[in-house]
Structure 1
Amino acid sequence: MAVRAIRGATQLEADVRDHMLERVAEMVLDLMEANGLEVDDFISVIFTATSDLVSEFPAYAARRLGFGEIPLLCARELEIERSMPRVVRMMAHVETDLPRADITHVYLHGAAALRSDLSRVRSVPDQ
């Protein structure tokens, strides 16, 4: 079994706690589904958030999904001029039999524009 890193990102409409928890949970669950993962497959997850998001720790959404025993870390995203606002990113380290080429990185909502170079960007329309 190999260790792989899987990335994801989502954009929030506003910095509202319930919205943060909903969007981060959606990103984590979509990443799990897209790659056939269970919580026990995760080694660790790093979340970053842009400086305009302060309503909740993104990791709390993962803890609510059963990630209580998985090391989780939240950090601040670099403040680069013209960067996309209200974005939460994640890098998950997992154990999987998937070859690197078959890993699906998940970019949702406005964050889909962050990695248009990836062939398997998953875009979820805003509801």
Structure 2
Amino acid sequence: MRAIRGATTIENNTPEEIYAATKELFEEILTQNEIGKSEQLTSVIITVTEDIFAAFPAKAVRETAGFEYVPVMGMQEIPVPNSLPMCIRFMVFTDLHKPLEAINHVYLRKAKVLRPDLVKEEDA
């Protein structure tokens, strides 16, 4: 089993932005890690910063065609002072059999500052 990390940000706490950013991040994680079917996933944990509360990001994962039955859990991040605001983070558990360094972690938008060492050129 492997875990794939990812994060993105939104500008406004609206359902539309939450769903769009979550969908974009989830699809990019799937694409960059060559995950084509839900059977390759064990579960997904999504966290949000305390300033995101207009909608459940998990809905965007559940509405991804073919991934409706993947277990998804949402929770709130610890409100650490001066941390990146308006941030959605992912931990995707998968049955990929790759070395750790072959896993593509995905950081989009302003979340690129969280792990610049893992940001790929195509995400920049």
Instruction: With the length of structure 1 as denominator, give the TM-score of the two structures.
Output: 0.90
Does the aligned pair in 2 maintain the 1:7–1:106 contact within 8 Å? yes
Q: 1:48-81, CA deviations, whole angstroms, 9 ceiling, x for partnerless residues?
A: 0000001111110000103321111000001000
Residue 123 (structure 1) shift: 2.9
1:93 pairs with 2:93: yes
Q: 1:77-111, CA deviations, whole angstroms, 9 ceiling, x for partnerless residues?
A: 01000001100001000011322111010000000
Aligned to 2:30: 32
Structure 1 gaps of 5+ residues are none
- 3-state SS, counterpart of residue 54 of structure 2: coil
Q: 1:23-55, CA deviations, whole angstroms, 9 ceiling, x for partnerless residues?
A: 100000000000000222110000000000011
Does the aligned pair in 2 maintain the 1:107–1:121 contact within 8 Å? no
1:20 pairs with 2:18: yes
Structure 1 distance, partners of 2:111, 2:121, is: 10
Structure 2 distance, partners of 1:21, 1:36, is: 22
Does the aligned pair in 1 maintain the 2:47–2:89 contact within 8 Å? yes
**Residues 111/8 of structure 1: CA separation in 2 closer, same or farther (3 Å cut):** same
Structure 2 distance, partners of 1:68, 1:121, is: 30
Structure 1 distance, partners of 2:55, 2:100, is: 32
Structure 1 distance, partners of 2:87, 2:121, is: 16
Structure 1 distance, partners of 2:19, 2:118, is: 26
Structure 2 distance, partners of 1:111, 1:123, is: 11
Does the aligned pair in 2 maintain the 1:108–1:122 contact within 8 Å? no
Structure 2: which amino acid aligns with 1:44?
Answer: S
List aligned pairs for 1:1-127, cutoff 5 A.
Answer: 3-38=1-36, 39-66=38-65, 67-118=67-118, 120=120, 123=123
Structure 2 gaps of 5+ residues are none
Moved over 4 A (4+): none
